[in-house]
Amino acid sequence: MRLPALIASLAMAMAGVLSPHAAADTSLPSCPQSNPVITPSGKSPQVDCTLHSGDLDFAVKYWRVPELPRPAAVKVTVTDPSGAVVQTIDELLEPSTPGGVGLQDIDGDGREELIIPISQNLLNGGNPNTRFAVWRAHDDSRHYERTQMVGQAVYPSGDGYLVSNGGGLSSRDLTFYLPTGAGYTLVVVLTIEVLEADPATNKALTVNCRAHQEDGLHAVDMSIRQAEDYFCNSPAAKAIWPDAERVQIKRWGVFGN
């Protein structure tokens, strides 16, 4: 099948799974692994199966074509206890995706998020980082909102934020999100970089932390300078090379904010 035909077939398949009258497949077995895998070396199977969280069921079905080595898309049908479909979630996948769909309470609010690994690529010195979609429902809502993230791990930051942790051996990128009714708002990205390392052990001796401007800073009413002061001293940032000396490189001019 040539590429245009393959794309057309995929588009038709995705249009079909978006139908509001779709029903979940109740014959699917339980997923062999419920937790998602986004770690650099982790792998998990991509099989049609079902997940359960609270009073909702999540029927996971992959769409495959012979021309592609891995599934090209996944559909997750969310149903309530009566079997009624409350939401249908669709994601296009890349051949490098490392694992299957999973559920995990990544922000510590007591409710599991739906996590769908999409692809895995080498970043910052050759370390694999996963691009993944996080679907979050706020409080007791049955509607899930999507946020795309990249990293090797995702967890609560210790001060009310969610952080995705990615990067390489000598540089880490921490992306801070604020949980909201619309999923997660990206607030700020930190780059923590090793400036000096012990040549014998490669242990980090000095590191620097820099913040990058993001539109979501308005949600926490901070300037980029305030964000750098605050987030570089957060529990999540201090957990990166915790024994290394923190060196501040002044880069704010007279009018910097």
> Consecutive sets of 10 residues in the chain, 257 residues long: mean pLDDT of each?
44 43 70 85 90 96 83 94 96 92 94 95 80 95 96 92 92 95 94 95 95 91 94 95 89 49
What is the predicted pLDDT for the residue at 21? 45
Return d(Cα 127, Cα 146) in angstroms, integer: 25
List Cα–Cα distances, 254 to 44, 85, 217, 231, in angstroms.
52, 57, 21, 22
Burial (CB < 10 A; 0-12, 13-18, 19+), residue 77, is: buried
The ranges of the chain annotated as CATH 2.40.128.460 are 30-152
pTM (2 decimals)?
A: 0.84
What is the predicted pLDDT for the residue at 169? 85
Homologous superfamily of 30-152 in CATH? Answer: Periplasmic lysozyme inhibitor of I-type lysozyme (2.40.128.460)
| Contact (CB, 8 A) for 59 and 24 | yes
| Contact (CB, 8 A) for 43 and 63 | no
Could you give the angle at the alpha carbon of 152 between the alpha carbons of 143 and 69, nearest 5°? 80
What is the predicted pLDDT for the residue at 15? 43
Tracing tokens 């000598």 back to the chain, one arrives at 170
What is the predicted pLDDT for the residue at 43? 87
What is the predicted pLDDT for the residue at 50? 97
Helices (H) and strands (E) in the chain, counts: 3, 14
What number of other Cβ atoms are within 10 A of residue 160's Cβ? 13
- Return the SS3 of 155: strand
What is the predicted pLDDT for the residue at 122? 82
| Contact (CB, 8 A) for 61 and 25 | yes
What number of other Cβ atoms are within 10 A of residue 141's Cβ? 11
